[in-house]
């Protein structure tokens, strides 16, 4: 199997260029091997972020901060979920392959795929989608430089930080606030929020210590403006999971007792302060593990079903219903697939049957998926938005 020769994060260390990419010259399996061969130890500062209040939340939800007004409470969220009833007509439908036994798994849902194509782009990756259907992401130009984009219902907007060498839009919340990364003229990478209304950028403070951001990094943004991401060490093969709290203007740091020191990387954060990411328990040749949790329950390793045992699992998205979206590599089959995990713990493989490889990067609260597909024969790799059967654009935008 040939993997696409572009960058997409897999969930290993930026310091060793370990993604489902930097794959201009590396295959996916080589990236996994690099992840597993890293040696060294480092302590990360701080402790898991503290919750300031506990509310009455839907099943599977735990805690959210109360420093600022909540834009959408749990009841309103449930109300919005009930508006995805009528069917829509899209480009085409494909059946997703189920990897579980339950009839109501995500894998039993059919999806209509709409592709995101950008003229002269060599690769396109959607990173995040909100409940209004706004998609943010990045694409590579012919010189393999990153540029940001916003997409909604077929309308595309190009977004680059003024004067930046590269720009990557990584997260968007339900208020339309966007977060991303840009590389300045001195090749330093900064995390910054972006307001589409006035095209204004605002840098996050530099993370204390010798930690670096990379243009490929993932940063997630919740409805309170709190951001979660990973930074890499200048000197050690470790990653730091950080959480930015705008109300307090402070950082806190996520660690897990189940992981080896410095081996936890949070990939996505939802509005209930649940975090999903990957971890390594030790440098013992095991692939990265998926973890899911919060500051009350901790961040335990998620058990994988027999069908996924021995695979490399990269969780990249998480919605407010507890659904995890990501990509899985099967060494035994030398193949790549997209997966969903619902809040009941059921895993499903959800692939676009029209393409050899499907990479899933996000899911919103209506179950709309984003990601990209790849054909190693042609080298084509458009982004996509996949709408579940019964999804209604008119009902969604009425909220």
Tell me the C-alpha distance between 118 and 141, whole Å.
Answer: 10
pLDDT at 238: 78
Tell me the C-alpha distance between 39 and 37, whole Å.
Answer: 6
Query: Which residue, 216, 220, 332, is CA-closest to 268?
Result: 220
Tell me the C-alpha distance between 183 and 191, whole Å.
Answer: 9
Query: Which residue, 331, 327, 325, 336, is CA-closest to 366?
Result: 325
pLDDT at 312: 85
- H or E element that contains 360: strand 357-363
pLDDT at 281: 65
Q: Cα 154 vs. chain centroid, distance in angstroms?
A: 22
pLDDT at 282: 59
Tell me the C-alpha distance between 7 and 351, whole Å.
Answer: 20
Residues of the chain under the 50 pLDDT cut: 3-105, 284-285, 395, 397-399
Tell me the C-alpha distance between 122 and 5, whole Å.
Answer: 10
Tell me the C-alpha distance between 115 and 125, whole Å.
Answer: 11
What b/e string do you get for 246-264 counting C-beta neighbours within 10 Å, with b at 16 or more?
eeeeebbbbbbebbbebbb
Tell me the C-alpha distance between 339 and 310, whole Å.
Answer: 15
Query: Which residue, 309, 270, 311, 308, is CA-closest to 292?
Result: 270
Tell me the C-alpha distance between 146 and 137, whole Å.
Answer: 10
Q: Cα 85 vs. chain centroid, distance in angstroms?
A: 26
Query: Which residue, 179, 237, 232, 225, is CA-closest to 209?
Result: 232
pLDDT at 262: 63
CB atoms within 10 A of CB 141: 14
- H or E element that contains 170: strand 166-172
Q: What is the tens place of the pLDDT at every residue in 346-376?
A: 999 999 999 999 999 999 999 999 999 999 9
Q: What is the tens place of the pLDDT at every residue in 40-53?
A: 222 233 222 222 22
State how far the alpha carbon of 51 is from the alpha carbons of 55, 264, 268, in Å.
11, 20, 17
The burial class, CB within 10 Å (0-12 / 13-18 / 19+), for 108 is: middle
Query: Which residue, 252, 240, 327, is CA-closest to 4?
Result: 327
pLDDT at 107: 55
CB 88 within 8 A of CB 94: no
Q: Give Cβ neighbours of residue 270 (< 8 Å, ≥ 6 apart).
A: 222, 318, 319, 320, 322
Tell me the C-alpha distance between 49 and 66, whole Å.
Answer: 13
pTM of this prediction?
0.75
């Amino acid at each position: 199997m040939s993997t696409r020769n572009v960058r997409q994060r897999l969930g290993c260390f930026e310091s060793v260029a370990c993604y489902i990419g930097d794959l201009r010259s590396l295959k996916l399996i080589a990236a996994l091997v690099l992840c597993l061969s890293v040696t060294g130890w480092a302590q990360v500062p701080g402790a898991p972020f503290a919750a300031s209040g506990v509310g009455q939340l839907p099943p599977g939800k735990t805690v959210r901060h109360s420093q600022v007004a909540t834009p959408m409470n749990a009841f309103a969220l449930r109300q919005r979920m009930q508006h995805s009833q009528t069917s829509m007509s899209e480009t085409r439908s494909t059946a997703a392959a189920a990897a579980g036994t339950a009839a109501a798994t995500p894998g039993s849902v059919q999806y209509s795929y709409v592709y995101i194509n950008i003229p002269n782009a060599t690769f396109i990756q959607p990173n995040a989608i909100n409940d209004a259907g706004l998609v943010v992401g990045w694409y590579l130009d012919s010189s393999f430089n990153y540029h940001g984009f916003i997409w909604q219902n077929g309308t595309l907007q190009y977004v680059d930080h003024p004067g930046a060498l590269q720009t990557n839009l990584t997260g968007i919340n339900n208020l339309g606030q966007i977060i991303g990364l840009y590389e300045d003229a001195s090749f330093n990478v900064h995390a910054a929020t972006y307001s589409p209304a006035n095209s204004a950028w605002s840098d996050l403070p530099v993370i204390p210590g010798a930690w670096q951001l990379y243009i490929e990094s993932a940063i997630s943004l919740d409805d309170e403006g709190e951001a979660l991401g990973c930074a890499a060490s200048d000197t050690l093969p470790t990653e730091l999971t950080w959480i930015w709290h705008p109300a307090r203007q402070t950082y806190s740091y996520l660690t897990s007792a189940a992981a080896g020191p410095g081996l936890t990387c949070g990939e996505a954060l939802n509005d209930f302060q649940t975090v999903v990411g990957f971890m390594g328990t030790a440098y013992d040749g095991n692939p990265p593990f998926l973890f899911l949790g919060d500051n009350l329950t901790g961040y335990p390793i998620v058990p994988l079903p027999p069908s996924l045992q021995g695979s490399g699992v990269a969780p990249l998205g998480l919605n407010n219903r507890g659904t995890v979206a990501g990509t899985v590599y099967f060494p035994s089959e030398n193949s790549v697939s997209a997966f969903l995990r619902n809040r009941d713990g059921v895993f499903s493989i959800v692939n676009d049957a029209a393409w050899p490889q499907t990479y899933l990067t996000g899911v919103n609260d209506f179950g709309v998926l984003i990601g990209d597909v790849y054909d190693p024969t042609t080298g084509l790799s458009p982004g996509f938005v996949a709408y579940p059967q019964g999804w209604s654009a008119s009902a969604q935008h009425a909220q």
